[in-house]
Amino acid sequence: MEKITWRCKDCGYTFESDAGKPPPESCPGCKEKCEFLNVTCYVPECGMEGQDPRLK
- The minimum distance between CB 26 and Zn ion, in angstroms, equals 8
37 half-sphere exposure, CB direction, 13 A CA radius? 15
- Using the contact rule CB under 5 A, the part of the chain among 11-19, 35-43, 44-52 near Zn ion is 11-19
End-to-end CA distance of the chain: 24
Q: Which of 19, 30, 48, 55 binds Zn ion (CB under 5 A)?
A: 30
- CA atoms of 51 and 33, how far apart (whole Å): 22
Task: Out of 3, 4, 11, 41, name the contact with Zn ion by CB under 5 A.
Answer: 11
Give whichever of 10 and 52 is closer to Zn ion, judged by the CB atom: 10
